[in-house]
Amino acid sequence: MTEPLKIGIAGLGNVGASVFKLLEQNGQLLLDRTGRDIRVTAVSARSKGKNRDIDVSKVKWHDNPVEVANDPNVDVVVELIGGADGAAHDVVNTALALNKPVVTANKALLGKRGGEIISLLKKSTGSVSFEAAVAGGIPIIKALREGLAANNINAVFGILNGTCNFILSEMTRTGRAFPDVLKEAQDKGYAEADPSFDIDGVDAAHKLSILSGLAFGCVPDVDHIDIKGIRKITALDIGFAADLGYKIKLLGIARRTDKGIEQSVEPCLVPKDSPIAATEGPLNAVYVDGDFVGKVLLMGAGAGGNATASAVVSDIADVARGRALPLMGMEGGKVGVLKAANILDRIGSYYFRLMVLDQPGVIADISAILRDHKVSLESVLQRGRDPDQAVPVILTTHETTEDSIQKVAEKIGQLKAVVEPPYLMRIEEFKS
């Protein structure tokens, strides 16, 4: 009879407790599907006495999470601590040094230390599985490493952060201001007390770096991602976007170009009738564009204990079946260094929000700057007229380079009648 597969969980937060519960509740189903009895034998967390709605009295408790990896009664190490450094890093390194498989949901570790992990795997018979690191319960990692393995990937893009998507969805639905909706997101548990990691785009950037690595066969490289968050988006922007036929979404985008891989995380205007615009609340959505398959869309719960636990246990099930895939979808020696395109060479259309004193000649001055930089206008919208106060003026452009649009924004911002720096967003015409 096949020996049970013994699991050690380092980190018993929301996800860790859900993994424990899922393995206990659906143990027979997993036995039927994998042929292995999967049992938790060891755990570690900061506080042993915390109420987690699980019974850990029958498993070994380790105060030091690294001891979960060292435990001889643990076959598979599940790292759910998080962060690129400290205990999470030590747990993974120790497990691989002992040739143990690792299952993790740690996007920061992979996004910032992917090259180090690839090097460790060259010397280890262990493996690293990370379905839960990107888009929670959506099986995007398996899709890229397995289902779409025969395709050259042209682009991968989507909504990778549920907190930002909830905030933007509620701003669109209710017309409320960003700070008000952020507080609601915190009250509902969608945003942390310090929401910077989410709303400044860092979380999405870590996830995008992993998707880029898988899509383009390279080491994840978060340092070459152009990152902009959603703090500066106003109800005005939401309303004007709607008037123009768009919704605003925080997107992670990675594209293959002749000059290298473009990577960015930023709020974008997307067509109202596109599937990505229809992704509301805390949901995530990821598009993959392959040369043979075309565009594939995966949508679902991108966070939350149960959805993320489902992804973690799917990796455990693979280990139980004896399946281990290379970290970035190809053997370590074939994984290259990301050739990053210069973001200033990127071509696209743009949305400008200007706050302008309603004075004669202002629009003519703005038009002259656009003309001098060979940027063509698509539309101009203005609401209200008040010679004593600034009024919003919205410009949208035809396609131009990022370099040109940044120079235009700098010049327009220097006009005396423009009372605050112009706010820019890309327009992405994603169609299914």
Q: What is the pLDDT of residues 341-385, one digit of tens each?
A: 999 999 999 999 999 998 888 889 999 999 999 999 999 998 766
pLDDT band for 431, please (50, 70, 90 cuts): low
| Structural domains in the chain, sorted by start | 5-133 (3.40.50.720), 140-301 (3.30.360.10), 347-427 (3.30.70.260)
Q: What angle do CA 283, 284, 285 make, to 5 degrees?
A: 130
- Predicted local distance difference test score (pLDDT) of residue 287: 95
- Predicted local distance difference test score (pLDDT) of residue 331: 82
Side-chain-side CA neighbours of 378 within 13 Å: the count stands at: 14
If we measure between CA atoms, which residue out of 149, 286, 318 comes closest to residue 211? 286
Quickly list DSSP for 148-179: TTTSPEEEEEEE--HHHHHHHHHHHHH---HH
Q: What is the pTM of this model?
A: 0.94
- Predicted local distance difference test score (pLDDT) of residue 1: 54
Side-chain-side CA neighbours of 121 within 13 Å: the count stands at: 22
pLDDT in tens, 111-145: 999 999 999 999 999 999 999 999 988 999 999 99
Amino acid at 335: V
Extended strands (E) in 258-406: 260-271, 283-290, 294-301, 347-357, 377-382, 390-397, 400-401
pLDDT in tens, 248-265: 999 999 999 999 999 999
**Active site (catalytic) residues:** 207
- Predicted local distance difference test score (pLDDT) of residue 383: 76
Is 386's pLDDT higher than 80? no
Residues ≥6 apart with Cβ < 8 Å to 332: 118, 119, 121, 122, 326
| 282: Cα separation from own chain's centroid | 12
If we measure between CA atoms, which residue out of 251, 262, 220 comes closest to residue 111? 220
Q: What angle do CA 425, 391, 388 make, to 5 degrees?
A: 150
- Predicted local distance difference test score (pLDDT) of residue 432: 46
Residues ≥6 apart with Cβ < 8 Å to 422: 352, 353, 354, 409, 412, 413
Tokens of 382: 């203005």
pLDDT in tens, 11-62: 999 999 999 999 999 999 999 999 999 999 999 999 888 889 999 999 999 9
Quickly list DSSP for 211-236: HHHHHHTB---GGG-EE--STT--HH
Rounded Cα gap, residues 254 and 212, in angstroms:
6
Rounded Cα gap, residues 38 and 72, in angstroms:
16
| 406: Cα separation from own chain's centroid | 25
